Structure 1
Amino acid sequence: MRYWLFKSEPDTWGWPAQVAKGAAGEEWDGVRNYQARNFMREMRLGDRGFFYHSQSDKAVVGIVEVIKEAHPDSSTEDPRWECVDIKALRPFAQPVSLAMIKENPRLAEMPLVKSPRLSVQPVTEEQWQIICAMGATEA
């Protein structure tokens, strides 16, 4: 299993909207960055991801699971763009803010810290464990 981070503006698509989709989940559509698209192409069923609220909150707020591997993005006719489907698994007991992540020297190499604009990013197993612990949430 691999780990990822999915960034979304909470006013556009927030954690409550993801949870409301239930077991059916939702496409992680609208990504128009080649590197982020390529990361989605690497995802496999069962991979886990952090759901991260960007903009105002700037915090990891939940855990999602990949339930459908890369396929054409239904929000465009352009065949270059693909997406995965994800479903909400559980919220974080305590959101983990970007400030908290930046304060932890063991997380200094995270793409979230080094490439903060990338909307889909890989997370190492060690980073996953650390952030889950920081959020008092089962990994």
Structure 2
Amino acid sequence: MTGKTNKILKKDRGEGPITQKLLKEEEEVVVVVVVVVVVVVVVVVVVVVVVVVAVIVVVVVEEEEEEVEEEEEEEEEEEEEEEEEEEEEEEETHEIIAGTLLVYSHVIATQARIGTSLATLIDNRKKFRQLRLEQADTRSPRHRHRRPVIMRSP
């Protein structure tokens, strides 16, 4: 209350119409102040709630993004592992093929040697027959009526 109000109240001694009017105005001011304070408190509470909800939403969204990134990284790692496994399998396959070709080349070389040996054997056999025939002609005349002995292969 102001100083002027205090003078009026002293004259009125708290029972007159002026005092009642002043008390009523004061009550109205107090009600307005209380309403303003309540509104401010409600606004502050709403702002705080909105800020808290926004922070929670941001945190949740960031966590979800991190989870998505982790999943993507895991998928990339799995793909890389699969690619490495495929490369290893391809290398193993190439090694197996190279080994198989090496074995085949040895087999073919062995067959060629066998073929060469067979051809040499057949050639030597023909030469041996020819030599025996020539020797049969040079034998004594009494053995000429016999056929030359030619060894047959089993």
TM over 0.5: no
Report which structure shows greater RCO (CA 8 Å, sep ≥6).
1
Structure number having the greater strand percentage: 1
- Provide the TM-score with structure 2 as the length reference: 0.14
- Provide the TM-score with structure 1 as the length reference: 0.15
Which structure has the larger Rg?
Answer: 2
